[in-house]
């Protein structure tokens, strides 16, 4: 198991729901629906009665600077597989189980949002609260980054180019099922599996050529057999998903309540309880804890994180093989260096090692005139003369 220190998490005060909203009752929606304009009315917007042609949305600013949220460093980085890129620096997904929303990085660096479909009475009510909750805005990324930069020179150099890489606060059931799908898998196949699971939920609409759905309830997931999942390409993971759904349904108060309660226990206990579910090992448990359960110092350790750790935090272990015991040492090393938000630091260091981000860093810096290349960890950094 992951041996990680138990630390108190301090957040900036914010008023919002502590758990994802309850899904609405099932709706029968058309199979082809364009995105919808946000309407101000006392009744929830309904795709059936208010369809309009897709047009350039009127983006509402979130008042989050690029240093607080940069979409390309947050969404396509392995935290979630439900969000799709639907335009230039634009990503679309579902928050609060039933609100279909797009986010776009605006020219001034701010992030704008646009609800295509929502069951809220107005933009400023449940849908907006669900969006802010999902984006974890109660945590100041700028303040967290400053503490990291003070404790690690390499992080300070990377942070200049990778600001805005935010950790999301996902629905625990969505996150759990997604990361069971991710085990020993590749991005293309994970996305295919998650898309299949999502399609079992109520249809919400289409944006940028992608169809979006509510994530199915445990009751709906329980109706899917292992054979159906295997036929859809899930392989051995099919039995784990079926088994986990059955296990969650047997929990007192229901699986959603049981998972949400893990936000209030110490990390080691959360890891042990998550690992009691079929198909959940220490790494998957750490991902779920970090990305949905407010366990901000959880460290998902795999071979990529192991390489980062042995290169910068535990050089004395370079050349050795990763074992469960060494996973604990890696997790402890991250917490020792970065503190109560160590999982956020690990996320940025992981992103920095992705080929797409290395190329982006190099491309950005090479545009600077009178510059000189030097190696920054695994990244070529260009500094001005």
Among 58, 283, 373, 381, the active-site one is 283
Whole-angstrom Cα distance, residue 350 to residue 167? 12
* Cα-based angle 32, 36, 39 (whole degrees, multiple of 5): 145
* CA nearest to 62, candidates 114, 126, 3: 114
Q: CB under 8 Å, gap of 24 or more: what pairs does 257-262 form?
A: 259/172, 259/173, 259/176, 259/292, 259/293, 260/18, 260/19, 260/172, 262/172, 262/289, 262/293, 262/295
Instruction: Compute CA 134 distance to the chain's CA centroid, rounded to the nearest angstrom.
Output: 9
Residue 331's CB is within 10 A of a number of other CB atoms, namely: 29
**Burial label, 231 (beta-carbon count in 10 A; 0-12, 13-18, 19+):** exposed
Sign for the CA dihedral angle at 179, 185, 187, 193 comes to negative
DSSP 207: E
Q: Which residue's structure tokens are 């970065």? A: 338
Whole-angstrom Cα distance, residue 349 to residue 276? 29
Write out the two tokens for 300. Answer: 């998902």
User: Please, which residues have CB within 8 angstroms of residue 358's CB and are 6 or more apart in sequence?
Assistant: 352, 378, 379, 380
Q: Is 104 a catalytic site residue?
A: no
Write out the two tokens for 267. Answer: 């990390």
Write out the two tokens for 365. Answer: 């810096």
List active site positions: 283
């Amino acid at each position: 198991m992951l041996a990680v220190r138990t630390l108190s998490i301090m957040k900036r005060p914010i008023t919002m729901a502590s758990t994802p909203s309850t899904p609405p009752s099932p709706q029968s929606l058309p199979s082809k629906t364009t995105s919808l304009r946000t309407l101000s009315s006392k009744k929830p917007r309904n795709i059936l009665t208010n369809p309009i042609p897709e047009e350039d949305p009127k983006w509402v600013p979130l008042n989050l600077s690029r240093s607080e949220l940069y979409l390309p460093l947050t969404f396509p980085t392995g935290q979630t597989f439900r969000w799709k890129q639907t335009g230039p620096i634009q990503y679309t997904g579902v928050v609060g189980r039933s609100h279909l929303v797009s986010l776009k990085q605006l020219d001034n660096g701010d992030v704008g949002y646009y609800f295509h479909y929502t069951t809220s009475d107005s933009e400023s009510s449940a849908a907006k609260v669900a969006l802010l909750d999902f984006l974890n805005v109660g945590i100041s990324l700028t303040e967290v980054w400053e503490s990291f930069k003070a404790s690690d020179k390499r992080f300070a150099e990377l942070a200049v180019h990778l600001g805005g890489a935010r950790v999301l606060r996902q629905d625990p059931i969505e996150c759990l099922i997604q990361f069971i799908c991710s085990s020993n898998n590749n991005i293309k196949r994970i996305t295919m599996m998650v898309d299949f699971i999502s399609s079992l939920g109520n249809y919400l609409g289409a944006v940028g050529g992608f169809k979006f759905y509510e994530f199915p309830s445990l009751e709906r997931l329980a109706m899917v057999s292992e054979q159906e999942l295997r036929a859809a390409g899930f392989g051995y993971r099919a039995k784990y998903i079926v088994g986990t759904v059955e296990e969650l349904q047997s929990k007192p108060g229901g699986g959603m309540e049981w998972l949400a309660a893990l936000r209030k226990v110490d990390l080691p206990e959360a890891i042990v309880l998550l690992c009691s579910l079929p198909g959940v090992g220490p790494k998957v448990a750490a991902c779920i804890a970090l990305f949905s359960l407010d366990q901000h110092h959880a460290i998902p350790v795999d071979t990529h994180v192991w390489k980062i750790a042995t290169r910068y935090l535990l050089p004395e272990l370079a050349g050795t093989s990763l074992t469960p015991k060494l996973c604990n040492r890696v997790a402890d090393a991250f917490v020792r260096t970065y503190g109560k938000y160590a999982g956020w630091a690990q996320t940025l260091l992981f992103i920095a090692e992705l080929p797409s981000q290395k190329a982006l860093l190099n491309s950005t810096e090479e545009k600077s005139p009178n510059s000189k290349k030097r190696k920054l960890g695994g990244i070529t950094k260009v500094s001005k003369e």
